[in-house]
Amino acid sequence: MIAAEASGSAASDAAGAAGFGGSGALGAGFHQAAGAGATGAAVATVRVAGCFGAAFFGAAFFLATSFLGAAFLAAVLRFGAAFFFAVFLAVARLAGARLAAAARFLADLAGRLVRLAAFALASGFATFRFFFLVPAAFRFDLVLLAIRHLPRARAPASAQSKRIPGPDKSEFRHGLDERVGAVSDRSIEPLAIHRSARNGPTWMAGTRRHKPAMTVQDALAQIEISGVSHVYRPPHGRPVPALTEVSLSVARREFVALLGPSGCGKSTLLYLLGGFLPIERGAITVDGKRVVGPGRDRGITFQNFALFPWKTVRGNVLYGLERLGLPRAERLARAHDLIARVGLAGFEDSYPAQLSGGMKQRCAIARMLAHEPDILLMDEPFGALDAQTRSLMQEELLALWRRSPKTVIFVTHDVQEAVYLAQRVVVMSARPGQVKAIVPTLFDHDDPGLTKSKPFVDRVDEIWHLVRGEALKAQELGAR
């Protein structure tokens, strides 16, 4: 009898250890997943995995013991371990010094415990067959609790950018720390905790449900990039750090250029902002909402235009309007208007393959503007154009922007283009990509001799020197 019990509890210990190992790995995978923003999918995965895990370990456990008393004892032991975990969570929560969050956590925990107790009682009365599920269920409940209540965002790095005072006034506030919530879009979830480094440790600073208070300053900052790092993992070969701890805020209706040598991660940053790549570390918020995927509020153009080749100019421009579900007449009217505005009237029925590079990019810009995004992401849009077309397109883009200002993030490696178009130029350093400097470049575009004026040329020179050093470094890195 004693021998049987001993061997039984030894087996149960092994099962218990395996159980904890399993849940530990699960928890880790989970945090990663949560960091990538796929919370819904992760929760679903864990629920399924939880059922399987509970069934598997429970069955192994029950078979191993096959003795009700030992099974009960082991269950209590494992309950104890899990209880410690719960206490740890509660303490961590409380240490966050946010009473409301802690209270919410405790309420959630209590609810789960009550549900669990009910289940335990029911399964206990039903011949104890399913009692083994109770500790496992409790542990998976705890994992869910941890996901729901532990803060997820990392602290943003201290700003690495050095700022150069500009000759011109800049009415835009840079480096704003808080953000504002307004736009509702399915692809953006409410902001998780995020505070700047000087406000104290971030990871305990709040909950996903926390809505920051809006201030006058906040109303200007629309995009907030904080402590974003990204590692590019080629299918074969070693991972390359593409971005390291990039922080940046962009005001509403500001025109910002991201400038840097090739391989400095400026396009990567744009894709992260677009929600096309998972944000693994750090956070990006738009209008106070965390970016977790592509959304209509952020339009994009690419260097290679990325028009749908099987659609005509009209078809391309209509696509976004169709997704909006507008009535047909209104769609056509808006498309017609936009096509005229970018100077493609008469080419509505041409296919992209029949257009020149400049015309393709005009079409891409019209397509991007069609569904009226707040933010325009432009990835070297004029990089594939010849010099004349390029300067024409720059002027036209500027005219479009001045007519209806939107927030623009413009990626380029052309210094003059950046200085000419943008209000601020963000100079990025080569591998790993970091913000090296933020240079205000607000010039009077009504001056016809602007690009030859002294302040303009000086500013171009200044930025060019910054970029040149980075380009050389990038070359050396490439050669190594």
Considering only residues 339 to 368 of the shown chain, the ones binding another protein according to CB under 8 A are 351-354, 367
Site string for another protein, 246-285 (x = CB under 8 A): -------------------------x--xxx---------
Site membership for another protein, residue 319 (CB under 8 A): yes
Distance CA 470, CA 467 (A): 5
Site membership for another protein, residue 37 (CB under 8 A): no
**SS in 3 state form for 145-206?**
HHHHHCCCCCCCCCCCCEECCCCCCCCCCCCCCCCCCCCCCCCEEECCCCCCHHHCCCCCCC
Q: How far is the CB of 54 from another protein (least distance, A)?
A: 24
Window contacting another protein (CB under 8 A); options: 30-38, 156-164, 320-328, 437-445: 320-328
Window contacting another protein (CB under 8 A); options: 64-72, 288-296, 394-402, 418-426: 288-296
Site membership for another protein, residue 208 (CB under 8 A): no
Distance CA 352, CA 361 (A): 10
Q: How far is the CB of 375 from another protein (least distance, A)?
A: 10
Q: Are 397 and 410 in contact (CB under 8 A)?
A: no
User: And the tokens for 79?
Assistant: 């309950």
Q: How far is the CB of 88 from another protein (least distance, A)?
A: 37
Of 267 and 423, CB closest to another protein: 267
Q: Are 187 and 153 in contact (CB under 8 A)?
A: no
Site string for another protein, 143-182 (x = CB under 8 A): ----------------------------------------
Q: How far is the CB of 377 from another protein (least distance, A)?
A: 8
Tabulate helix, strand, coil % of the chain (nearest 5): 50, 15, 35
Segment (H or E) for 247:
strand 240-251
Distance CA 351, CA 344 (A): 12
Site membership for another protein, residue 373 (CB under 8 A): yes
Q: How far is the CB of 255 from another protein (least distance, A)?
A: 19
Of 293 and 357, CB closest to another protein: 293
| SS3 at position 64 | helix
Of 154 and 367, CB closest to another protein: 367
Considering only residues 378 to 417 of the shown chain, the ones binding another protein according to CB under 8 A are none
Of 212 and 320, CB closest to another protein: 320
Site string for another protein, 289-308 (x = CB under 8 A): ----xxxx-xxx-x-x-x-x
Of 84 and 310, CB closest to another protein: 310
Residue among 195, 334, 360, 371 that touches another protein (CB under 8 A): 371
Q: How far is the CB of 292 from another protein (least distance, A)?
A: 12
Q: What is the DSSP letter of 385?
A: S
Q: How far is the CB of 162 from another protein (least distance, A)?
A: 33
Of 153 and 397, CB closest to another protein: 397
Q: How many CA atoms lie within 13 A of 383 on its CB side?
A: 18
Report how many residues bind another protein under the rule CB under 8 A.
32
Residue with tokens 């289940």: 119
What dihedral angle (degrees, nearest 10) is formed by the CA atoms of 156, 160, 165, 170? -30
Distance CA 282, CA 188 (A): 15
Q: How many H helices and E strands in the chain?
A: 12, 12
Q: How far is the CB of 331 from another protein (least distance, A)?
A: 13
Q: Are 411 and 441 in contact (CB under 8 A)?
A: no
Distance CA 152, CA 193 (A): 7
Q: How far is the CB of 299 from another protein (least distance, A)?
A: 6
Of 5 and 322, CB closest to another protein: 322
Q: Strands of 424-429's sheet, edge to edge?
A: 162-163, 434-440, 424-429, 255-259, 407-412, 375-379, 298-301
How far, in Å, are 198, 226, 334, 463 from residue 156 at the CA level? 10, 5, 41, 26
Site membership for another protein, residue 310 (CB under 8 A): yes
Q: How far is the CB of 370 from another protein (least distance, A)?
A: 8
Tell how far CA 433 is from the center of its chain: 17
Q: How far is the CB of 225 from another protein (least distance, A)?
A: 18
Of 232 and 276, CB closest to another protein: 276
Q: How far is the CB of 319 from another protein (least distance, A)?
A: 6
Distance CA 396, CA 391 (A): 9
Q: Where on the chain is the footprint of another protein (CB under 8 A)? A: 271, 274-276, 293-296, 298-300, 302, 304, 306, 308-312, 319-320, 323-324, 351-354, 367, 370-371, 373, 377
